[in-house]
Amino acid sequence: MGELEHKYEVEIKSREGKQKLPDNVKEELKSSGMMDEKGKLKLKGVSPKMLKKMKQEFVECPVLKEDIHFVQCFVCPNFQSRVMGKVLCKGDSL
């Protein structure tokens, strides 16, 4: 298997405690079926333990030029893969 085509390797950082997702991100997740009406995330193939860890992580997004939640990064069309504490990002403009 060849290497995924990516423009950026972004380091995943973590914070203490659960971080609140912005309302616009929640609306996007609800409309795409990745969050139910009560605000509970439903990501296919992600265990509850991993989801809890993901909620405490963030990345410095090279496309948006700001710190964003890892969950927001995970559902982004630019997201390629998560490899050893880094995210492979296509880097296309949104």
CA 62/CA 50 separation, integer angstroms: 24
Which residues lie across from 79 on neighbouring strands?
A: 89
- Could you tell me the pLDDT band of residue 1, with boundaries at 50, 70 and 90? very low
* Residues ≥6 apart with Cβ < 8 Å to 16: 56
Q: Which runs of E-coded beta strand occur in the chain?
A: 8-14, 57-61, 66-69, 79-83, 86-89
Per-residue pLDDT reduced to its tens digit, 23-58:
888 888 888 888 888 888 888 888 889 888 888 999
Q: How many other CB atoms are found less than 10 A from the CB of residue 50?
A: 12
- Helix and strand numbers (H, E) in the chain are 3, 5
pLDDT at 7 over 60: yes
Average pLDDT, whole number, for the chain?
88
The 10s digit of each residue's pLDDT in 83-92 is 999 999 999 9
